[in-house]
Amino acid sequence: MRLLGIVALSVMLGGCASVTRGTTENISISSTPSGVEAVVSGMEVPTTCTTPCSVVVKRNADISITFQKEGYEPQIVPLSRDIQTGGAAGFAGNLLLGGVVGMGVDAATGAATDHKPNPVIVTMQPSAPARSARPAGPRKPRPPAVTPEAGT
C-alpha cells in the first residue's frame, strides 16, 4: 500500500510544472559590442547588468530589456511568454490526473511558460553624428568692385 502511495504521488508531482520546472527562469543577455548596459524591467525590482550577463526572472513576469551605451542608439527588446513542451507536459499532466489545483497554480505562477527570445542578443547601431552648421572655410578674396569714372 505504501509503495502504491509513493508511485501515485510521484506521478502527480511529475505532472505539475511548478514542481518540475519551477517558477523562475534564467535569461541570458548579450550584445555586440559587449559592455552595453541592459536594464531589465518588469521585475519586482528593476535590474541593471552589463553585457554579457544573465538574470533570474519570474516566469509570469512581463519583461522588457532596454540596451544603452554611449555612441549607440538605445534598443528595447520586449520578451513574450510561450508555453513550451516541458511546460505543456506538466500542465497536461495536471489535466490528466485531475489536478485542478495544480493547473491553477501553474497558470498563476506561469510555470508552464518560457520567455522568448532567450538568449536575448542585440547588435547595437552607432548613433548618427550630430549635424552641425558647415564650418566657414577660408574665403577667396574678391576683386575690388569696378566703379564707373565720373564724366565718361
DSSP 83-97: E-HHHHHHHHHHHHT
Over range 123-138, report the average pLDDT.
73
Q: At residue 134, does pLDDT exceed 70?
A: no
Q: What is the pTM of this model?
A: 0.61
Over range 50-68, report the average pLDDT.
95
Q: At residue 18, does pLDDT exceed 90?
A: no
Q: Which amino acid is at 11?
A: V
Q: Residue 141: which region, alpha, beta or left (left: phi > 0; alpha: psi -120 to 50)?
A: beta
Q: At residue 148, does pLDDT exceed 80?
A: no
Distance from C-alpha of 33 to C-alpha of 39, rounded to nearest angstrom: 16
Omega before residue 33 within 30° of 0, cis: yes
